[in-house]
Amino acid sequence: ADTVLRGLDAVDTFGAVVEAEPALGTRMDEVAFDEALRAIADFVDLKSPYTLGHARAVAELADAAATRLGMTGDEVALVRRAALVHAFGKLSVSNAILDKPPPLGTGERERLRLIPYVTQRMLRQSPALAPLALVAVQVGERLDGSGYPGGLVGAAICREARVLAAADVY
């Protein structure tokens, strides 16, 4: 077992996959990147019939709000892209919970509250997606500290995440 398992903890699995597949090293332009994010967001939204089109709708609303607030083009793109990926973590939640009518039990609510955290864990491995993870993980935070997953307060929540959270709630 020592021979077979030696070094497994030291392997950067994401990097190893990218190195093993030359096509994964290909760079996308901004348009292709947005198209890829929309396609994956659509796929994630298919998990539950209650969320079909949710990521795209949140992205459009967040984009419009960020533009109206006078955010820079890069900031608007960050908000829009973070909106597309903000719920990737729901892939880790059973449909028995996602599709269950309220009220949810304490454990079920906790599973839902983990969605931003799991999203961040999924995205942080990629240098291209890590900036989106920093915004998406804050989608459940609230200015008074009652949010999740970190219980952040006020200015600790970035402006982009505030725009995203408002669009998501709306």
pLDDT band with cut points at 50, 70 and 90 for residue 9? confident
pLDDT greater than 70 at residue 43: yes
Q: What percent of the chain has pLDDT over 90?
A: 82
100 annotated active-site? no
Q: For 69-80, what is each residue's pLDDT tens digit?
A: 999 999 999 999
pLDDT greater than 80 at residue 36: yes
Cα(135)–Cα(46) distance, integer angstroms: 23
Q: What is the predicted pLDDT for the residue at 124?
A: 95
Catalytic one of 87, 90, 129, 135: 90
Using only C-alpha atoms, the chain has a radius of gyration, in whole angstroms, of 17
pLDDT band with cut points at 50, 70 and 90 for residue 21? confident
Q: What is the predicted pLDDT for the residue at 25?
A: 66
Q: What is the predicted pLDDT for the residue at 11?
A: 74
* Three-state DSSP string of the chain: CHHHHCCHHHCCHHHHHHHHCHHHHCCCCHHHHHHHHHHHHHHHHCCCHHHCCHHHHHHHHHHHHHHHCCCCHHHHHHHHHHHHHCCHHHHHCCHHHHCCCCCCCHHHHHHHHCHHHHHHHHHCCCCCCHHHHHHHCCCCCCCECCCCCCCCEHHHCCHHHHHHHHHHHC
Contacts of residue 110, Cβ cutoff 8 Å, sequence gap at least 6: none
Q: What is the pTM of this model?
A: 0.87
